[in-house]
Structure 1
């Protein structure tokens, strides 16, 4: 079966911009207190659920968030569609496992993870394919496990053309928190909290963070 066009386009886009993207956003977490606080809460919840919890960042890019979770004490790995991004993540976070993969076929056994983070990684999936992605999130999470999602709020996609001067383009799909919550619930992952913050710095839209948990029973 041939690969869907949107996956091929997303891989090509991020392979092309990987080095420039990594250099541009390497220290971005330093100026994002809300992001740090939400990731710290997630790490605390995962550790409280299981002391030897395994966590994965799904769509990890160059490993910025994966590395942060590792420094917070989690046993974490990263998965990304872009081979070049995975190379850069391995360079940035030696000792943390990274591999190439897609959100549609995660390389984990059923119930293997206590924590899963999709940090701005569902935004390139067409709306009609999102239920498949959320079903895969639910499959790999253990009962009691947590899913954390981050995304831009909105209805209209943002198209980036020739970022950093590279001859590539891609749509970034903004989402409504209510729709993301609905997708999580339909996949059997009830939402426990939702945070929306106002744009900061160069951001143009609100940013949303949704935390869901797989029921124990």
Structure 2
């Protein structure tokens, strides 16, 4: 399997390259995903869509659908809830300014369906925690010819 990573943050890519020297990483954005149509077999978006505003999620999911081969899967991890905040301090006290969005699982699943995906699994972990984790497995359907 050929795996690679895309991130908007050069600093995060530097860490990824350091920790995974055999993999390829490049700067890019989910809102303008620079990959060829039907070019990947799977997508892992692990707590990355939490930084995307609601109005841009349909564009991101449309790009995911476009770049996945028929039958390809997307696994999304996100914070479950219905709120937004701006985080100004990172781990270790590092200053930052990032938007964080908590979303209901059904809203995320609806956006995926609108983009053309079928939902295969919905999981909510740590339901009693302050920030439950949501996971969705979605698949680009295989279109069969009659």
> How high is the TM-score relative to the length of structure 1?
0.62
| Secondary structure of the structure 2 residue equivalent to 1:193 | strand
Question: 1:215 aligned to 125, 141, 144, which one?
Answer: 141
Q: Is residue 149 from structure 1 mapped to residue 76 from structure 2 by the alignment?
A: yes
Q: Is residue 97 from structure 1 mapped to residue 21 from structure 2 by the alignment?
A: no
Separation in structure 1 between the aligned mates of residue 43 and residue 132 of structure 2, nearest angstrom? 23
RMSD between aligned alpha carbons?
1.5
Gaps in structure 2 of 5+ consecutive residues: none
Q: Deviations over 1:123-155 (max 9, x none)?
A: 111111111001000000000000100001001
1:199 Cα deviation (Å)? 5.5
Q: Deviations over 1:41-65 (max 9, x none)?
A: xxxxxxxxxxxxxxxxxxxxxxxxx
Stretches (4+) displaced over 6 A: none
| Secondary structure of the structure 2 residue equivalent to 1:104 | helix
Separation in structure 2 between the aligned mates of residue 170 and residue 91 of structure 1, nearest angstrom? 23
1:206 Cα deviation (Å)? 1.1
Q: Deviations over 1:81-134 (max 9, x none)?
A: 001111111111011011110002223110001101111011111111111001
**Greater RCO, 1 or 2 (C-alpha within 8 Å, sep 6+):** 2
Q: Which has the higher helix share?
A: 1
Gaps in structure 1 of 5+ consecutive residues: 1-73
Q: Which residue does 1:174 correspond to in 2?
A: 102
Question: 1:127 aligned to 35, 51, 54, which one?
Answer: 54
Question: 2:88 aligned to 158, 161, 164, which one?
Answer: 161
Q: Is residue 116 from structure 1 mapped to residue 116 from structure 2 by the alignment?
A: no
Q: Which has the higher strand share?
A: 2
Question: 2:131 aligned to 205, 209, 213, which one?
Answer: 205
